[in-house]
Amino acid sequence: MRLLFLGDMVGKTGRTAVWDRLPGLISDLKLDFVVVNGENAAGGFGITEDIFLETINAGADVVTTGNHVWDQKEAVVFAGRHDQFLRPANYPQGTPGRGSGLFYARNGARVLVANVMGRVFMHPELDDPFKSAEVILDACPLKEQADAIIFDFHAEATSEKQCFGHFVDGRASFVVGTHTHVPTADAQILNGGTAYMSDAGMCGDYDSSLGMDKEEPLNRFISKMPKGRMEAANGPATICGVGVEISDATGLAEKIAPLRLGPRLAETVPEFWR
């Protein structure tokens, strides 16, 4: 199975770049399943229902989120209406929406996708992500109820992300980090067969500070005083993500490599998809 995960869409330039390029990527690369993190898609803060639906219409099978999931107040309402919209699974019981779901890939495979948020340097501090993952895996084990299992681990600390990868190694197909908006160089397959990358990067303008117009963040570092609101940068976007090939026989990863398309960062498409 060919899986593509795209990192956090930031603002209009990030989401429109994904909408424009994703249909062609699905066709050209013969993708079976696509996950996109959309938590910064609405002006850099949260996601609206219209943006979510447009992302699904462009070809995403699931949209994940993170700590900004509720920044747009309408998300509290529409989260429960759409199975393909995921918020972190380790929110307390009773939180609107869902944190995981079982979906069907284009090749007919059953794909479990789970969205979990870390706790180190993160706000709000949610329930234990390791215990949450254990509950999810116990309910839907790999090669029993699911042919592939994907975790979007939304977290700040790379140490927490790496430990989470090792925790589910051999029990999940793929663990990818989101939140820090900078693609890491550690795409690998862990000892137990789980594909792992600490951060997929963002889909947005890299002439920025994490996708936001750089003037206000720079001012705050220098002066310690806000002058205005943070605004999403609106220059040309680079799409960042990671591609994984998953064995139909084992549900574990066979290949992993980053994908980057656009200005500023060196473009790359996984060699096994060329």
Furthest C-alpha separation in the chain = 57
199 labelled as ligand-binding?
Answer: no
DSSP 161-196: HHHHHHHHBTTBSEEEEESS-S--S--EE-TTS-EE
105 to each of 97, 132, 221, how far by Cα in Å? Answer: 22, 24, 45
Nearest to 8 by CA among 147, 177, 157: 177
166 labelled as ligand-binding?
Answer: no
179 labelled as ligand-binding?
Answer: yes
40 labelled as ligand-binding?
Answer: yes
67 labelled as ligand-binding?
Answer: yes
Strands 8-9 and 62-64: unpaired
106 to each of 17, 33, 34, 109, 111, how far by Cα in Å? Answer: 23, 7, 10, 7, 10
Annotated catalytic residue, options 68, 82, 123, 166: 68
Q: Is 114 helix (H, G, I), strand (E, B) or coil?
A: strand
Q: What angle do CA 34, 153, 181 make, to 5 degrees?
A: 80
Is 68 catalytic? The answer is yes
Nearest to 48 by CA among 20, 18, 82, 99: 82
Encode burial over 229-247: b for 16+ CB neighbours within 10 A, e otherwise: ebebbeeebbbbbbbbbbe
Looking up tokens 């084992």, which residue turns up? 250
154 labelled as ligand-binding?
Answer: yes
Contact call for residues 6 and 29 (beta carbons, < 8 A) = no
Detail the residues annotated as belonging to a binding site.
Answer: 8, 39-40, 67, 154, 179, 181
* Catalytic residue set: 68
Detail the residues annotated as belonging to a binding site for Fe cation.
Answer: 8, 39-40, 67, 154, 179, 181
